Amino acid sequence: MFVRKDVKEKHEYRHNLKLGKIKRNRDALGTVFHHGQFELDQVLHKEDPEIALSSELLARGVVRPAMSRTMKDYPGEVDKNMTSASPSTSVSESNPLTNGQIHTLNSLLNDEPLYEHVNNDKATNFAQEADISKDPVGFVPTDLTQWLFNDEAFLNQSTNSSPTSNILNDLDLKAAKMLEDAFCTSPNFPLANYQTSVDDRIIQSMISYIPKLALKQLGVIQIERCLELYWSICHIQFPILHKPSFDTAKVHPLLLLCIIMMGAGVARFSGVNESEILHDPQDLADTIAVPLRWLVLSSDDFCSPPKAWILQVLIILEIYEILLSSRKLHERAYLHHGLKIQLLRRSPLLGGDPTNQYNDYKELTEGSDAWKSWIELESLKRATLVSFYLDTIHATIFGHEIILFAHQIKLLMPCDDMLWEMSNIDKNNLPPQTETPRFITALTKLLHQQNFDVGPLSKKILLAGLLTIKVQMEKKDLEVTFLDWKPVKESWKDTIYKAIEVWRDDICHEDCCDSRNAFYLSSSNNAELMPAPFSIADKKCKFPIYHLSQTFMRIKQYDCIIFAGASNRMNVKTTDRDYKVVKERINTWANSYSGRISVLHCYIFLNEMLFKGNEKLYYNPSKDPLFHRPNIVALSLFVIWAYNYSLGGSESSSYLEYSGRDKTIQLSNSTFKEDGYDYLKRIIDTLKEETSQQTISNRLLNEYNEILPKIKNKHYLVGFLSLFLEGFKSCQSEVCREYGGLLENCIERSLGKKYKVMQ
């Protein structure tokens, strides 16, 4: 095989540098282990040309003292008996590492898979992520971001999923150049009615892909209504399509079919009676959804690198299948989710060489071409970031396995929402532009508790980033447990917990109920067509995943649903032994500081859903247009029930008084010990009265933690759970209907029924 001489010499040079650096760092680590010397000059050779990338990297050294932070007054996530002062980061002469610890660490250094997902330079990364402590167990990481990302130096390191910073910077520069050229002229976007209007030619084109549609009552009126519903309900939550340039006559028919499918799928959330136009929207949506995935997979455009429309179809279809369809389609979406991620890995967005795709970019003479190029690139970026968000959120809610981690996302954040949604852009009166930060940079600032402004979509993506770090650190817990580094296990949870609180208070301006924080509300989004839950006047929680992320910091999703009586998890049947193990974990959690913090977040979230001050609000999960919120409401109910049932047992023994086929009817008509609204109001009012506050605040969770055990009869939950029962049993999603069955089981157990796995 022919290899260019200059390429061969360059490769050999870099290879020799890397081998030399690994050897020097291992020698340095040995010195640190045996002598406790932390001086930079004794650890690194400053002449190393790869390490000398910047003065900042040199100043960092292999090991640096823990950085001082100004922590806001947030409650710690860990148990109080675990939040003692951090140990000193200097080594004690009287307490060196044992030979066994040194041997273990050296073995870990030679373990290729252990740290390759963080940094290919194992020795340097390991030394940077660890610090010798006076604590007998040995190491404590000095900085979570240094451990995971190696700060800014991380951006200059290669990984298996993304090549080099030079390539990524080239892609960013080209995107900036595209936008700069585009601003030289005003775009010629189509009229707004092009986003929803169709004709017979378009309809026949779609029917040619799915012949069954010819048997449905699918005319121009029905299709246009589905398109309107998509833009007013789905697009506002996940703006992955560029609405101003969208033209139904020019987009791929499969993308148009997917949008119609989603519009039909969300029809019941519109707040108006759609039956006059859409006879059976659920049937229409399923008719498209079932064959759509196979049609996309067999398309000539389904290849790497993927076009934007391929990714957009897969994302919209996944949202529908996971949240709005049958259990079968729900599981199909999860199985194929990894395929979408692999497409991204084989694209300029998560891997490969983007210059191969974009090196033909030249000085464009027509502004429309520049706008088209920029829109395509921004669409790809948004599709990638939303895929990352969905990967994380679905893992949190459903217990799925995370595929994408934060350190693998090296893209810039989405562009300004105003720019993305503007239909009329005048080159002489351009919208205000702000610098778009890189995702890793923004996430690092958040972990360092720094304040900055981002748009609604970016807020969601940053929260997902924090959640992936949580999962990533849970995986690292297996390593630190093996080494018995207990302080490490507790410190990172406190850091993530507080970073999520900073996200709410600074990034979301202390209000997770304000629609303007969660959605970009513009005139182009047809505010008059949007359902009421998206309006500024609606004060229900718009970021329920915030509460759930804090709730699940110390309790697993599957523990709650198994304790509630789920018959299986991920198609694996629940056994009596599984239940006993889970019951022990639930009991330990319920009696801990962390258990009280978890359940307090659930109480606060459900209070935001059921009360506006003293005014009672009606909530029906089967009519909720916010994706994922019904699932999070159900999980919050299971957490509250598990906590209180574990501590207080059943509310009564009414269940034992009934028998026969009429038991369900008799139970539904039985008298609850406390009305559901009264129950929640009593809990919340007690927390406010005991802290002398007019409102509930997440900054007072430590105080609430002391008050909660003193509140009596918290296990009077039958009336409270019954508020949601019928809504979940009538949900469109089969998964949510299963939640209804679990809620019914929880109600019966609170009325005295003995534990039995549901069928």
How far is residue 135's CA from residue 504's CA, in Å, rounded to a whole number?
A: 34
Region of poorest pLDDT, from 528-542, 626-640, 689-703:
528-542
Q: Is the pLDDT of residue 228 over 80?
A: yes
440: exposed, middle or buried (C-beta count within 10 Å: 0-12, 13-18, 19+)?
Answer: buried
For residue 299, what are its two tokens?
A: 């398309």
Model confidence pLDDT, tens digit, residues 207-226: 999 999 999 888 999 999 99
Residues 390, 317 contacting (CB under 8 angstroms): no
Q: Is the pLDDT of residue 103 over 60?
A: no
Q: How far is CA 752 from CA 63, 575, 669, in A?
A: 58, 21, 16
- pLDDT at position 207, please? 96
Peptide bond into 113 cis (omega under 30): no
How far is residue 154's CA from residue 170's CA, in Å, rounded to a whole number?
A: 17
Model confidence pLDDT, tens digit, residues 547-565: 999 999 889 999 999 999 9
How far is residue 100's CA from residue 106's CA, in Å, rounded to a whole number?
A: 10
What is the average pLDDT across 741-755? 90
- pLDDT at position 683, please? 97
For residue 602, what are its two tokens?
A: 């659930």
Q: Residue 382 is inside which H or E element, if any?
A: helix 367-398
Residues 591, 575 contacting (CB under 8 angstroms): no
Q: Residue 723 is inside which H or E element, if any?
A: helix 718-729
Residues 470, 406 contacting (CB under 8 angstroms): no
Peptide bond into 305 cis (omega under 30): yes
- Predicted confidence band of residue 428 (pLDDT cuts 50, 70, 90): low
The CB-side HSE value for 706 (13 A sphere, CA atoms) comes to: 8
How far is residue 705's CA from residue 698's CA, in Å, rounded to a whole number?
A: 11
Q: Residue 321 is inside which H or E element, if any?
A: helix 308-324
How far is residue 497's CA from residue 477's CA, in Å, rounded to a whole number?
A: 16
What is the average pLDDT across 671-685? 92
For residue 740, what are its two tokens?
A: 């209804």
Bridge partners, residue 616, by sequence: 611
Return all residues near 637 (Cβ < 8 A) that are at least 6 apart: 602, 606, 721, 724, 743, 746
Q: Is the pLDDT of residue 56 over 70?
A: no
How far is residue 212's CA from residue 484's CA, in Å, rounded to a whole number?
A: 61
- pLDDT at position 450, please? 85
N-terminal to C-terminal alpha carbon distance within the chain: 62
For residue 494, what are its two tokens?
A: 């406190």
Q: Is the pLDDT of residue 108 over 80?
A: no
User: How many CB atoms sit inside 10 A of residue 66's CB?
Assistant: 17
How far is residue 25's CA from residue 110's CA, in Å, rounded to a whole number?
A: 13
What is the average pLDDT across 290-311? 94
- pLDDT at position 288, please? 98
Residues 601, 551 contacting (CB under 8 angstroms): yes
User: How many CB atoms sit inside 10 A of residue 516's CB?
Assistant: 13
Region of poorest pLDDT, from 30-44, 234-248, 273-287, 390-404:
30-44
DSSP for 578-607, please give it.
HHHHHHHHHHHHHTSHHHHHHHHHHHHHHH
Q: Is the pLDDT of residue 23 over 70?
A: no
Model confidence pLDDT, tens digit, residues 120-176: 333 333 333 333 233 333 333 445 555 565 544 444 433 444 433 344 455 566 666
Q: Which among 529, 538, 725 is positioned nearest to 621, based on CA atoms? A: 725
Question: pTM higher than 0.95 for the full model?
Answer: no
Helix 253-265 / helix 200-209 crossing angle, nearest 10 deg: 90
Model confidence pLDDT, tens digit, residues 325-356: 999 999 999 999 999 999 998 887 876 444 34
- pLDDT at position 665, please? 46
Model confidence pLDDT, tens digit, residues 457-476: 999 999 999 999 988 888 77
DSSP-assigned letter for residue 1: -
Model confidence pLDDT, tens digit, residues 69-86: 444 455 554 444 433 333
- Predicted confidence band of residue 423 (pLDDT cuts 50, 70, 90): confident
For residue 477, what are its two tokens?
A: 């817990």
* Boundaries of every domain in the chain: 5-82+95-133+148-156, 523-750
| Residue type for position 231 | W
With pLDDT > 90 as the criterion, what percentage of the chain qualifies? Answer: 48
Model confidence pLDDT, tens digit, residues 704-741: 999 999 999 999 999 999 999 999 999 999 999 999 99
- Predicted confidence band of residue 320 (pLDDT cuts 50, 70, 90): very high
- At residue 2, what are phi and psi to the nearest 5 degrees? -80, 130
Q: Is the pLDDT of residue 118 over 80?
A: no
- At residue 612, what are phi and psi to the nearest 5 degrees? -125, 90
The residue that leads in pLDDT, 124 or 403, is: 403
- At residue 633, what are phi and psi to the nearest 5 degrees? -60, -45
How far is residue 480's CA from residue 496's CA, in Å, rounded to a whole number?
A: 17
Bridge partners, residue 742, by sequence: none
Residues 473, 492 contacting (CB under 8 angstroms): yes
How far is residue 593's CA from residue 587's CA, in Å, rounded to a whole number?
A: 12
**Chain-wide mean pLDDT for the chain?**
77
How far is residue 133's CA from residue 704's CA, in Å, rounded to a whole number?
A: 34
- pLDDT at position 179, please? 73
Q: Which among 163, 551, 604 is positioned nearest to 352, based on CA atoms? A: 163
Return all residues near 108 (Cβ < 8 A) that are at least 6 apart: 114, 126, 479
For residue 429, what are its two tokens?
A: 């009166």
The SS3 assignment for 120 reads coil
- pLDDT at position 573, please? 85
For residue 170, what are its two tokens?
A: 């080239």
Q: Is the pLDDT of residue 602 over 90?
A: yes
Q: Which among 328, 254, 330 is positioned nearest to 298, based on CA atoms? A: 254
| Residue type for position 712 | K
- pLDDT at position 474, please? 80
- Predicted confidence band of residue 11 (pLDDT cuts 50, 70, 90): low
- pLDDT at position 720, please? 96
Q: Which among 496, 493, 414 is positioned nearest to 463, based on CA atoms? A: 496
DSSP-assigned letter for residue 234: I
